[in-house]
Amino acid sequence: MDSKVFVLCFCAVFVAAEAIEMNLTNEWKQDIGWEIYCSWRIPNGDSLQSVRLHQNNQQFLIFRPETDGDSRVLVTRRLTDVLTTNCALSKEDRQMGTCVLTFELYQPQKQGFMITCEVSGERPYFRMENKTIYVDKYVPSTDAALRVVSQNKDTGRVTLNCTSSGVPGPNLTWTILGQQKIPHDFTGVSWNATSKLWDAWSVLTYTSNADTTAVCTPEVSTAGRLVKGKSAEYNSAECSRGLVALIVSAALYLVLVR
């Protein structure tokens, strides 16, 4: 009697250890928005019963191979975005599959959201596994880019325009290398409907010389911390040396072609 009980307990533990493998990730797609991937693998001897997807705890899709076949596509058009969900079983192994959720943004993302993926197996085991991911309204800032708007060689006055993009729109700060931050002249942020990012720009006018380097740095506050992007620098001396090198190269080229 005791040996039978031991065998039953051992089998129960073994079955419980054979859990459904799941992976839930998200990725920002330029010019689209967010893509979320829920992939799974059912243990040998079991089969998929259903996949349920929730956004902010509200179910919006059920994928059942018994009724849907090997795949199901659902397109949901909303005021803020278009959500396309594509769930499919692997052709090589019906115990594996993936749901891809594509959020194509119509409007700027105002807040983060949760996605839950729940995978269930068939009888007699009725295995079930679920994962939840939080998609924050944050996309790292692009590298800062500088452009010379105007330059007066006599006075050394130069006007620079700095740009960067991200979600939310980055704050562009100016510093003169080795000194404290300096105020900008003008700044602005606008939504880019193509890239799905906020484009930020800032203009600075200052007196440049060989010892000064203007630095523009994109900064964003997220999750209670300050995140800095890659800075861009402008140095009048380096620009002058570059111009001289370009003139010399052009002169040598003319000599050679003659």
Is residue 8 in some structural domain? no
Q: Are residues 123 and 158 in the same domain?
A: no
- Which pLDDT belongs to residue 226? 94
Distance CA 204, CA 193 (A): 27
85's CB contacts (< 8 A; 6+ apart) are: 53, 60, 61, 72, 73, 74, 75, 76, 99, 100, 101, 102
- Which pLDDT belongs to residue 17? 52
Query: By the 8 A CB rule, do 175 and 229 touch?
Result: no
- Which pLDDT belongs to residue 147? 96
| Token pair for 29 | 């797609």
Q: Are residues 34 and 55 in the same domain?
A: yes
Q: Which of helix, strand or coil describes residue 246?
A: helix
Residue where one domain finishes, among candidates 111, 135, 159: 135
Distance CA 161, CA 31 (A): 24
- Which pLDDT belongs to residue 244? 34
Contacts 24+ apart (CB under 8 A), 193-196: 194/31, 195/30, 195/31, 195/165, 196/30, 196/31, 196/32, 196/33, 196/105, 196/167
Q: Are residues 22 and 122 in the same domain?
A: yes
Distance CA 182, CA 163 (A): 17
| CA-based end-to-end distance of the chain | 105
Q: Per DSSP, what are the bridge partners of residue 132?
A: 116
pLDDT in tens, the chain (258 residues): 454 544 444 444 444 458 999 999 999 999 999 999 999 999 988 889 999 999 999 999 999 999 999 999 999 999 999 999 999 999 777 789 999 999 999 999 999 999 999 999 988 888 999 999 999 999 999 999 999 999 998 888 999 999 999 999 999 999 987 677 888 889 999 999 999 999 999 999 998 877 789 999 999 998 889 999 999 999 876 554 443 333 334 444 444 555
Q: Are residues 122 and 198 in the same domain?
A: no
What pTM was estimated for this model as a whole?
Answer: 0.80
Number of domains in the chain: 2
Distance CA 252, CA 242 (A): 15
- Which pLDDT belongs to residue 15? 45
- Which pLDDT belongs to residue 242? 40
The CATH number of whichever domain residue 123 belongs to comes to 2.60.40.10
Q: Are residues 246 and 150 in the same domain?
A: yes
Q: Determine the structural domain holding residue 48 and report its residue range.
A: 18-135
- Which pLDDT belongs to residue 19? 92
Residue where one domain finishes, among candidates 103, 135, 167: 135
Residue where one domain finishes, among candidates 104, 135, 166: 135
Q: Are residues 42 and 94 in the same domain?
A: yes
